Amino acid sequence: MRTHSDGSAERPVMSGWLRRLARLFGDARGMSAVEFALATPIVMALVAPVGDLGIAFAQQIQVQQAAQAGAQYALLHGFNSTNISSAVTAATTLGVSASPAPSQSCGCPTGTAITTATCGTNCSNGEVAGSYVTINAQVSYTPVVPYSFFGSSTTLAAQATVRVQ
């Protein structure tokens, strides 16, 4: 390194454009705008799927409630496939379908399942086999943002079973 006669270090001479470039890198004005521009896509990439998942869960709850509305109709009015289907579709504005159609069967309750049995016969627990109605509800859900692992849409489905008299 070269020094002056007074002992101070000699600075290399910068051309005009190098000085301006050095000042530009040292200037902090506009840094917030740059940070915002870099961070916004990342935040949106995280927020959009969370919002989409929330919408899907809300619609799944509505589909479950539609199946339960069909079960409530069957409980109060007995088995009538057409009327039960109407109760399912009228329970929400999502366009829920009662598919597959409501069905009636006889069986014996065994914990969390219903074992098929002939109506009127005695079950292993001593109860008489009862008549059960199974109601299904489903709707197609299309995500707001397309995701490769979901495909273009998915089916939200629910099922309810109720014992009728």
Looking at the DSSP bridge assignments, the partners of residue 95 are none
Q: List average pLDDT for each run of 10 residues in the chain, which is 165 residues long.
A: 60 70 73 86 87 92 97 94 96 94 92 88 90 96 78 89 90
Compute φ and ψ for 115, nearest 5 degrees: -85, 130
Residue-level length of the chain: 165
Query: CB of 9 within 8 A of CB of 1?
Result: yes
Looking at the DSSP bridge assignments, the partners of residue 159 are 136
